[in-house]
Structures are given as structure tokens and as C-alpha cells.
Amino acid sequence: MKTKLIVGLAALLLGVAASFAFLKRGTPAPEVRFATLDGETFGTSDLHGKVVLVNFWATSCDICVKEMPKMVETYKKYAPRGYEMVAVAMSYDRPDHVAAFAKGRALPFKVALDTDGAIARSFGDIRVTPTTFVLDRNGRVLKRYLGEPDWAEFHGLLDKALGNPA
């Protein structure tokens, strides 16, 4: 039993380490197709020209739920300046739970389902939520956050990336 636990933890740590090594600052984001709750489909390249946040989250993730009001505030503040957000629900999250969460909280940004886990795998086999990527206007990774970001630092990054501070 103890050996299985050690092997399991080692495998988890290797997976997390591998995902950190995958998308580093300046790396182009993978080309993936998103399908939103509203029925919209688009690819990563369709978002070029905007500063984009891709947030992997789950309705069962306490930190994700806690940070969502700040995500909404951030979206409302920066969207007029060329900011887009895609909240990608993890494959294990039931679509009806995601839809109820999004509707109940009136999420103003794009909420996508990753029903088969392909988007999470493309972004480095994301398994820990929340995991967030900020992409520049050319689709390159500016920053990756694991857990809730430092909001002041995050907003400073957006101001700089958008090129026109408030």
C-alpha cells in the first residue's frame, strides 16, 4: 500500500512538472478548437489580435469558484480594451453543472466544455485547477498561473499586454 502511494505521488509530481515545462513564456499556444455553452466554436488562432486568458476550472474546485467573481470583474474592466477570456471546464465536470454555474452567476465571457480532455492535454495535460494562461495578441504565452493569481500583478500584466494602461 505504501509503495503504491509513493509511486502514485511520484507520477502526479512528474505530470505536474511536465505540464510546467510544456508552455513557457513566449511559447505559442496550441491550436485547439473551443465549443462554448452558447454553441459557438472557434480556434485559438481566431483569438489573435486580442490578449486572451484561458482558464481551466471546475465547478467542484473551491479556488475556481472563489476566484470567479474576480474573473468577471477583470473581464468587464478589460474587455473593451481587447481582452478575451475562455473558461474551459474540465472533462470530468458535468455539462449541466457547468451550464447552471455559468447561468447562475451570469458569466459574461466564453465558457467552453472540454468533454474529451483534448484541450487540457494540448495545453500540457492540465490536471490541476485552476490553471490559467495569459496569451499575448499573437497567441504566445505571457504567463501561466497555477491557483488563484495575485490580482494586482495580474492586472498589471494585462495593462502592459494591452499596451494602453488605464
Q: For strands 131-135 and 141-146, give the pairing.
A: antiparallel
Contact 98, 129 (CB under 8 A): no
Q: Which residues form the domain of 17? A: 2-162
Residue 35 sits in a domain whose CATH number is 3.40.30.10
Q: What pLDDT shows up at residue 69?
A: 97
Number of domains in the chain: 1
- Per-residue H/E/C for the chain: CHHHHHHHHHHHHHHHHHHHHHCCCCCECCCCEEEECCCCEEEHHHHCCCEEEEEEECCCCHHHHHHHHHHHHHHHHHHHHCEEEEEEECCCCCHHHHHHHHHHCCCCCEEEECCCCHHHHHCCCCCCCCEEEEECCCCEEEEEEECCCCHHHHHHHHHHHHCCCC
> What is the pTM for the complete model shown?
0.84
From the list 5, 19, 6, the residue with the least C-alpha distance to 129 is 19
pLDDT tens digits in sequence order for the chain, 166 residues long: 665 545 444 444 444 444 444 556 788 999 999 999 999 999 999 999 999 999 999 999 999 999 999 999 999 999 999 999 999 999 999 999 999 999 999 999 999 999 999 999 999 999 999 999 999 999 999 999 999 999 999 999 999 999 965 5
